[in-house]
Amino acid sequence: MSDFWDAASAIATTGATGVALWFGWHEAKMRRKEEADREAAQARLVVPVIDGYRGEVVNHSSEPLLELRIIRADADQPNGNPVAVRWSEGDPRIFRNVSAGQTHHLELLEQGWGPYIDPVNGYEVEEDEGITPFNATNHRLTIQFMDAAGLRWQRVGLRPPTRILGEFSDPAPNPE
């Protein structure tokens, strides 16, 4: 009978140890997640959008950005391939000390994309001109910035921001 209680005690001790280890691991994981969420609080408030013929980055946070870079503007073609958007060469794309609430603009240029083919009838309707082809979707700016805490971030369109652990990228050259 003593062997039974020894075995039961060993199983219970092992089970309790496993549960305690799981709770410790789970607590550490939740703390890391909460810390990452706190770190990204300002980054989520830096919003890059393309509105018509203009790219726009707004710092909706109450803190300044130490640096902001507009890396590129693009969209997706129906086949899934990205198409680059042109911008005015005179527009700066690297900014230092962007105040809370400040907006920076990038004028996007209209381009000729060839004839626009009617998808139903299959014939040319007109010349396809705009910042992207007529049927392009998911227009977006890719930006990189340093928040008030000195953390580096990248944001592609309205996707959640991601941390950059290395150096910033240089803005892409204007597409040909």
Give the mean pLDDT of 130-156.
91
pTM, two decimals, is 0.75
Mean pLDDT of the residues in the chain: 85
pLDDT given at position 97: 93
Beta strands in the chain (DSSP E): 46-51, 54-59, 65-76, 82-84, 94-98, 103-107, 111-117, 124-130, 137-146, 152-156, 162-164
Phi first, then psi: what are they for 26, rounded to 5°?
-65, -40
pLDDT given at position 1: 63
- Binned at pLDDT 50, 70 and 90, residue 125 comes out as low
Q: Which residue has the higher pLDDT, 83 or 3?
A: 83
pLDDT of 36-83, one tens digit each? Answer: 667 788 999 999 999 888 999 999 999 999 999 999 999 998 888 898
Percent of the chain with pLDDT over 90: 47
pLDDT given at position 32: 75
